Chains A and B, each alone.
Chain A
Amino acid sequence: MNRKILGREAVQEALDVSLQRDKDVILIGQGVPDATQTYGTTAGLVDKYGTDRVYEMPLSESAMAGVMLGASLVGARPVMTFARLEFFLLAIDPIINQAAKWCYMFNAQTHVPMTLRLIIGRGWGQGAQHSQSLHSWFAHIPGLKVVLPATPYDLKGLLIASIEDPNPVIFIEHRWLHYNHGHVPEGYYKTPLGIPNLIRKGDKATVVSSGYMTIESIKAVNNLNKQGIEVDLIDLRTLSPLDDTIILESVKKTGNLVVCDHASLTGGFSSEIITRVCEKSFGSLKNSPIRISLPDSPTPTTRGLANYFYPTVKHIENAVKSLLGIKTEDPFKDIKPTDKLDIPDQSFKGPF
């Protein structure tokens, strides 16, 4: 019953189930049918469904996104994979100028059932051009849906829902989630888009988180629980659309808000969450909210700097404590430049 599998296996199952259920679903991307099988997330699929449903793609991101958009207009349901989010930046014209607008501009005669899987790198020397988290950009575009799963359960359920959605969906997969274990049911199920998930309950503070940060937040909340501090932990799951009801209700109860996001601080999605709380429920805040994010710097490659670039579980814990008036220390205090923190787990030997 309580089957546990890896995140990357959950993604593979979602793709498998979708290909199985709907013959219009096709997969395309660099390496998707190849030996590396996009970090294992497409393992076995080309063998099972053939090269006319699982495609390798030339280094032509821009045109290929346009080609897939065209194909989706007349019945195809493409899932495009970009091994790094950055490579998708070559393809944003067909998606942002076109796909996102068509339903609106063309009187809902068209639908664009495309899913764009964007994978975010972290650590192990990924650096400035292979690790950016740009989901807040995408969430800014009306007509696009933006999905940021955290748990293996949601990697599968949200991906199936994204593929079935008649709109263009940006599905953002943090690479480290592939290495995470969790409960995943077999077969078909969906996690609906747009509804955040209350993962932990408590009345001292509200922690809102998304994507890989939710994994860190779960650890932080577990630590806080051990210290007798109970908090609400809300995983956003999708940034757009977003039903904020559960967040507003939680802050009404706790009066304290911490928002965690694995993107740079300025203009990030945390600001949107805090703004909504301020606009709709200003009076319930007992303290100024706190944002946990990456610094406003490009990503360094070296471990010696990456160790101080990514906020840790301790940062989240400390943020909650500081709202409760508990003194804390610098979370980076005991971290050495040579500590192996830039890997998804200690068993990881690289390469990435």
Chain B
Amino acid sequence: MAENNKNVLYKDLNLLKSYRDMLLIRRFEEKSGQLYGMGLIAGFCHLYIGQEAVVVALQALSKPKDSVITAYRDHGHMLACGMDANSVMAELMGRFDGPSKGKGGSMHMFSREKNFYGGHGIVGAQVPLGTGIAFAHQYNEDKGICFTYMGDGACNQGQVYEAYNMASLWKLPVLYIIENNKYSMGTSEKRHSASDALYKRGAAWNIPGKAIDGMNVIKVYEGALEAVEYVRSGKGPYVLEIHTYRYRGHSMSDPANYRTKEEVKGVKNQYDPLITLKNILIEEYKVKEERLKTIEKEIKEVVNDSAIFAQESPEPKAVELYTDIYNQDTVY
């Protein structure tokens, strides 16, 4: 595919690749929802549908040494980091071929190879962890930066601000990304935060911040460019608040009566990140619809294959209950 993409570049952002990556997340998540309904996935399952443009644009700005850490709404981040759809789906189904052998599930996956550091179920806990990863990037002088994601709800955890202080004090290469999807479970932003300008919350520690539109991949890319450059140049942390929206419930057990159907429909109809990008590709970049259909078909296959792969993957053996409780490495 790559050879055909040259003319679909917005600066360094490959728009066809972005479309493909976003579509993969969208279809993967839809499939997960389906499999959940069929009883093949159980437990927690926090879908990323609606927020795809955020992680895809930011990954376009990342370099091989960089690292990523997020909370439990993590399937999109894992796919965007290049983790294999088959293995992620296997983990969702609790199978042995998942990155955590079925012991972690939806919220807890990790890939050292892809510099993806989880997958965390305790809200806000990933923020100091990401700060620590940035500390190591600085200490090792490897030029990497850490993309540390959190939700709007997570912004009320005290440890976020303890981490901000240290990050600023030591000029750590960490980009704090607030995915503001307006809700913390059933609690709207207005009901959980005294101020809605979450990006300003680093100001007291001299951390610059700004808020950007998260429903258009180009705007995310544009908005994040400066922030990433700032962090990469060694000036210290940056807070990027990205306005986005989750279409589905918080997890699968969400009665969703804290918002109206019209509200959700309104966002889907007007701001859907995939439709927005599709229109841009067709209208501004003159990409043929067929081209997009081919991508659509490809993705469908990848996702269907992942479901088949996962179903064929074995259950972990009972002995796995007692493995990996401690790391057995003696030399490091």
- Which of B58-66, B119-127, B197-205, B286-294 forms part of the interface with chain A? B119-127
B106 at the interface (CB under 8 A from A): yes
Complex formed: what's the CA distance from A30 to B124 in Å? 15
A interface footprint on B86-120 (CB within 8 Å = 1, 0 otherwise): 00000000110000001111111000000000001
Complex formed: what's the CA distance from A35 to B249 in Å? 12
Q: Determine whether the beta carbon of A302 is less than 8 Å from that of B315.
A: yes
B43 at the interface (CB under 8 A from A): yes
Q: Which of B42, B102, B121, B315 lies at the interface centre, i.e. has the most chain A CB atoms within 10 A of its CB?
A: B42
Provide the residues of chain A in CB contact with B139, threshold 8 Å: none
Give 18 A-B contacts (CB < 8 Å), ordered by A residue. Answer: A30-B184, A34-B187, A86-B122, A90-B157, A125-B42, A127-B103, A129-B108, A130-B121, A300-B320, A302-B103, A302-B315, A304-B95, A304-B315, A308-B318, A308-B321, A349-B39, A351-B251, A352-B253
A296 at the interface (CB under 8 A from B): yes
Provide the residues of chain A in CB contact with B105, threshold 8 Å: 125, 127, 301-302
How many chain B residues touch A (CB < 8 A): the figure is 49
Q: Determine whether the beta carbon of B154 is less than 8 Å from that of A59.
A: yes
Q: How far is the CB of B177 from chain A (nearest CB, A)?
A: 17
Of residues 305 to 332 in B, which have CB atoms within 8 Å of A's CB atoms?
Answer: 315-316, 318, 320-322, 325
For the complex with contacts A295-B321, A308-B321, 20 further pairs of A-B residues with Cβ separation under 8 Å are A30-B187, A34-B187, A58-B187, A58-B193, A59-B124, A59-B153, A59-B192, A60-B157, A86-B121, A87-B122, A126-B44, A128-B121, A301-B43, A301-B105, A301-B106, A302-B95, A302-B102, A304-B316, A305-B315, A305-B320
Complex formed: what's the CA distance from A297 to B155 in Å? 32
B269 at the interface (CB under 8 A from A): no
> With A30-B185, A36-B186 as given contacts, are A129 and B322 in contact (CB-CB < 8 Å)?
no
Provide the residues of chain B in CB contact with A130, threshold 8 Å: 44, 121
Complex formed: what's the CA distance from A295 to B325 in Å? 11
Q: How far is the CB of B203 from chain A (nearest CB, A)?
A: 20
A269 at the interface (CB under 8 A from B): no
Looking across the interface, which residue of chain A has its beta carbon closest to that of B258? A35
Provide the residues of chain B in CB contact with A125, threshold 8 Å: 42-44, 94, 105-106
Complex formed: what's the CA distance from A25 to B328 in Å? 51
Complex formed: what's the CA distance from A240 to B103 in Å? 33
Looking across the interface, which residue of chain A has its beta carbon closest to that of B120? A129
Q: Determine whether the beta carbon of A124 is less than 8 Å from that of B325.
A: no
Of residues 315 to 343 in A, which have CB atoms within 8 Å of B's CB atoms?
Answer: 332, 337-338, 342
A62 at the interface (CB under 8 A from B): yes
Complex formed: what's the CA distance from A59 to B192 in Å? 8
Complex formed: what's the CA distance from A56 to B258 in Å? 13
Closest 5 CB pairs of A and B: A125-B43, A302-B94, A301-B105, A304-B315, A351-B253
Q: Determine whether the beta carbon of A298 is less than 8 Å from that of B106.
A: no
Q: How far is the CB of A305 from chain B (nearest CB, A)?
A: 5
Q: Determine whether the beta carbon of A127 is less than 8 Å from that of B121.
A: yes
Looking across the interface, which residue of chain A has its beta carbon closest to that of B322? A297
Provide the residues of chain A in CB contact with B318, threshold 8 Å: 305, 308, 332, 337
Q: How far is the CB of B74 from chain A (nearest CB, A)?
A: 13
Q: Determine whether the beta carbon of B158 is less than 8 Å from that of A62.
A: yes
Q: Determine whether the beta carbon of A342 is less than 8 Å from that of B185.
A: no
Complex formed: what's the CA distance from A56 to B183 in Å? 13
Q: Determine whether the beta carbon of A352 is less than 8 Å from that of B43.
A: yes
A246 at the interface (CB under 8 A from B): no
Looking across the interface, which residue of chain A has its beta carbon closest to that of B96? A304
A350 at the interface (CB under 8 A from B): yes
Complex formed: what's the CA distance from A35 to B192 in Å? 15
Provide the residues of chain A in CB contact with B254, threshold 8 Å: 36
Complex formed: what's the CA distance from A126 to B72 in Å? 13
Complex formed: what's the CA distance from A90 to B154 in Å? 13
> With A305-B316, A305-B320, A350-B252 as given contacts, are A298 and B325 in contact (CB-CB < 8 Å)?
yes
Complex formed: what's the CA distance from A291 to B157 in Å? 39
Complex formed: what's the CA distance from A186 to B293 in Å? 63
Complex formed: what's the CA distance from A342 to B42 in Å? 10
B321 contact from A35, A36, A59, A305, Cβ within 8 A = A305
> With A127-B104, A301-B108 as given contacts, are A31 and B315 in contact (CB-CB < 8 Å)?
no
A interface footprint on B176-188 (CB within 8 Å = 1, 0 otherwise): 0000000011110
Q: How far is the CB of B175 from chain A (nearest CB, A)?
A: 21
